[in-house]
Amino acid sequence: MRNKPRAFRVAAALAAVVALSACTVGDNSSTVDGKQEVTFLTFETPNLTPGYWDAAIKRVTAKNPDITVKKLVAPTADGRTAYAKQLLQSGQFPDVMIAVSPAGFAEAGNLYAWQPDELKDFLYPTANPINGKYYQLPANTQTIPPIYYNKKMFADAGVTATPKTWAELLDASAKLKAKGMTPFVIGGGKDGFASSMILSGLVSVDLYAKTPDWLTKRRSNQAKFADPDFEKALGKFADLAAKGYLDKSAVSRDYAATEQAFLDGKGAMYPMGNWFAANADTKKPGFEIGVFNVPTEDGTVVAPAYTGGGMIVSAKAKNLDAAKKFALAFQLDKEQLDASVKADGLFPAIKGYTLPSDVGPVFKAGYELYQQAQAQEAVVHAFRWETADDGLLPGMADKVDAAAQDLITGRRTPAQAAAFLDTEWSKAG
């Protein structure tokens, strides 16, 4: 699937960024025109365009004229943590990073630990602890993944209700396939998470609903990927591929192309994080989009979600106070929060925050699903997306993606995929 090893590609991208930069991160200068400089690592997606980040930075610096920000961009949307590692190893660790997993960085003393008074404005200030400390601002909640669907395709295939049980999902998929439609749009390529979304949902709604601390148990070797409950989720995922409900050739398609394939009507269902709602509402394809939770065996409501994803700050930033000030100002600014809702479909986890009145129908539908799950106390962690003490070991998210791709293509059986994950876990530990 890949022509060159990941490390080579990331290193090459790093070299390109440094070469093109007028002022590298490694420069000794910590001020620009008398202002305190902060380096800020971002990433780009179809939702989060260069213009989105530039406008956000401008809003914050306009209110904090003593700070100037140098933007860096990760070479891939899903490779930002690996890229941050490359920058750290080359002595160019950014001052501020967004949506970069703190695992590994924090334990090595590379990150600033936020203090309780600095987290007072966040709804879930104790999210994602690492050894009892908090390194990532718990800025927003994301449901990962709801399943978006093409209402016209469902109607044309005779699917009259959104599936609530796994059997109903299989029945809907069979009807869609019988009509010559691709049931699920999936991807992969350089953005491996697009391959593992359904698997993430299955582990979350089937295993985590029963054993919410399963990953904590895995960290203490009280559980294994080869255990029956986890392997069952792998088996259900592999069954979708075996039945032809997943397009095996699509695992080389990157995230942007995967999203576009769904918007172009090339498949009926699209399992993706709630950030997709932003583009669903703005790009407005020629069909109506609905959304439902990943079905459970018995139809009970379970919603996988992750709260976090915010800024982390280098403990060794040249202008540490400025870096902290920028990070908090960015995450708490009302205009920025509204922009994140509209551009990336996020659910801000900020006290007193109210949604903009003009959010779109797909966003509203997904947000209502989340609120219903909250009311029923049916929100669980989103497998693969957790961070900190209850998350995967560093590097394991990529291994989950690889296992998912192998199940889709048939290169591994569920038992072999489970054994692979246990072996890689041992290496990562």
pLDDT attached to residue 394: 85
Q: Specify the CATH superfamily of domain 143-306+379-428.
A: Periplasmic binding protein-like II (3.40.190.10)
φ and ψ of 351, to 5 deg: -60, 135
> Is the CATH number of domain 6-140+309-359 2.40.50.140?
no
Question: How far apart, in whole angstroms, are the C-alpha atoms of residue 226 and residue 29?
Answer: 51
Please give the pLDDT value at position 14: 40
For 123-143, how does the pLDDT look when each residue is reduced to its tens digit (9 = 90+)?
999 888 999 999 999 999 999
Residues of the chain under the 70 pLDDT cut? 1-30
pLDDT, tens digit (0-9, with 9 covering 90-100), for 202-260: 999 999 999 999 999 999 999 999 999 999 999 999 999 999 999 999 999 999 999 99
User: For the chain, how far is it from start to end, CA to CA, in angstroms?
Assistant: 27
Residue with tokens 């953005």, as numbered in its chain? 191
Please report, for residues 50, 80, 350, the alpha-carbon distance to residue 347 in angstroms, rounded to integers and kept in the order given: 21, 21, 9
Name which of 109, 80, 96, 108 is nearest 137 in CA terms: 96
Residue 286 CA to residue 37 CA, distance in Å, equals 46
The whole-angstrom separation of Cα 124 and Cα 232 is 32
Examine domains 6-140+309-359 and 143-306+379-428 and report if their fold is the same: yes
Residue pair 390/381 in contact (Cβ under 8 Å)? The answer is: yes
Residue 13's φ and ψ, nearest 5 degrees, are: -65, -40
Domain boundaries, the chain: 6-140+309-359, 143-306+379-428
